[in-house]
Amino acid sequence: MLQSLYRGLTSIAGPAVRLYLHRRRAAGKEDPQRQGERLGHASRPRPDGPLVWLHAASVGEANSILVLVDRLLERAPDLTVLLTTGTVTSAALMGRRLPERAIHQYVPVDLPDAAARFLDHWRPDLVLWIESEIWPNLLGAIRARRIPAALVNARISARSFARWRRAPGFIGGLLGTFRIALAQTDGDAERLRALGAGTVSCVGNLKFSAAPPPADPAQLDALRGAVAGRPLWLLSSSHPGEDEVAAAVHEALAADLPGLLTVVVPRHPHRGPDIAQALRARGLAVARRAEGALPGPQDAVYVADTMGELGLFYRLAPVVCMGGSFVNHGGQNPVEPAQLGCAVLYGPHMWNFAEITDRLEAAGGAMPLPDPADLAPNVRRLLTDEAERARVVAGAATVTEHNRRVVDRVLDVLAPLLDEAGVRRRADRPAA
């Protein structure tokens, strides 16, 4: 009943949704050149052969499945992968990082006609839905067309679980779209079963299998030359309210650590000018990467307000604090800096990565901090005590190495659906 009500309401919501998209476009949150994709109008033809559609909400989810995209393409030389996301930043990043035979499109808004146009054009042979986005019309259209589908790297927070339990028939029907659900943790698996998902298993978190973010060698050499000999730490993927925390850390440590450089990479690069202005108002010398500057000897803070360059700064900074963890956001992915040999710290709000942080902390591979006031002394400790820093880095390495084969387990479980969709290994194909 709720599914029919939702479909009916969204069927008449087209004008309101178009106005919403227009306002987002005016705010820079939609791509004006590709607005049609959000209404299900494809901007590219469908290639011949089997096509697997993967949907990931934004940057973090998309990055985590690039390794799965690569492995799918290796499995079948005639396969095309279609990856959809919903944000401008993720589209820009995927435009640079997707391999040949992988296509990016914006996910259509959840209107019945947009979902139908999208599926009529792309005709996916298999759908892999990543993590936890639930769009009733899209999932209903997939189910109505009997397209094989799986929920991969699934995550259902306790908050979402409590909300969905109020509508068990609705969520149960939506989860019934997926023949297989692969949960990140045992807790996620239990919640998915309780909500009505069918075949559920836990094979681990794909973020452990993701390759570290890349770095341009020439740019890395230039940065290393610019900061040579300086103590340096990084606040990664900062959110509003955390840039001031980084400034306070710098002010607390600068006298004890001559030449200290604090690097701030905002989660949303468009905040760069505002961050720089706020830090300069505190008397700090600031350089911005978006302006083409390298950090100079006089600069206290380097605001790296560009897209897709975290790999540079994880290779540059021995100590990294994860943003989104000192505000009620849920943190950012600590696996990437851990893979690249950084000593990782974070605040109390890491609930989006609870399973990962539990494993890191159990191995001594990360430092959780209960309060922003704890950040300065622990950054000092890790920058000045090489043995302590090495201990944290080694603990993280045991966790990332042990779990890097998650993608193999994912592919093993998905194998029957891949075969059904015609995504067969070269060796499995009949002779011509």
- Do 394 and 418 belong together in one domain? no
- Do 267 and 342 belong together in one domain? yes
pLDDT at position 431, please? 44
The pLDDT of 106-115, averaged and rounded, is 96
Q: What is the mean pLDDT of the chain?
A: 94
pTM metric for this prediction = 0.85
pLDDT at 425 over 80: no
Report pLDDT digits (tens) over 62-73. 989 999 999 999
Cβ(344)–Cβ(392) under 8 Å?
yes
Q: Which of 53-67, 182-196, 271-285 has the highest mean pLDDT?
A: 271-285
Report pLDDT digits (tens) over 31-45. 999 999 999 999 999
- Do 277 and 155 belong together in one domain? no
Cβ(235)–Cβ(244) under 8 Å?
no
Report pLDDT digits (tens) over 369-393. 999 999 999 999 999 999 999 999 9
The total number of structural domains in the chain stands at 2
- Do 167 and 260 belong together in one domain? no
Helices 354-362 + 386-403 axis angle, to 10: 120
Residues 6+ apart with CB under 8 A from 291: none
- Do 109 and 228 belong together in one domain? no
432 within some domain: no
The pLDDT of 402-422, averaged and rounded, is 94
- Do 290 and 234 belong together in one domain? yes
- CATH number of the domain at 202, please: 3.40.50.11720
- Do 147 and 11 belong together in one domain? yes
Cβ(368)–Cβ(343) under 8 Å?
no
- Do 162 and 239 belong together in one domain? no
Q: Which residues are catalytic?
A: 61
Report pLDDT digits (tens) over 196-214. 998 999 999 999 999 899 9
Query: What length is written for the chain?
Result: 432
pLDDT at position 94, please? 94
With a pLDDT cut of 70, the percent of the chain lying above it is 98
Report pLDDT digits (tens) over 131-157. 988 899 999 999 999 999 999 999 998
- Do 385 and 355 belong together in one domain? yes
User: Which residue range(s) make up the domain with 170?
Assistant: 2-209+405-426
- Do 132 and 11 belong together in one domain? yes
Report pLDDT digits (tens) over 220-261. 999 999 999 999 999 999 999 999 999 999 999 999 999 999
- Do 11 and 119 belong together in one domain? yes
- Do 223 and 201 belong together in one domain? no
68 within some domain: yes
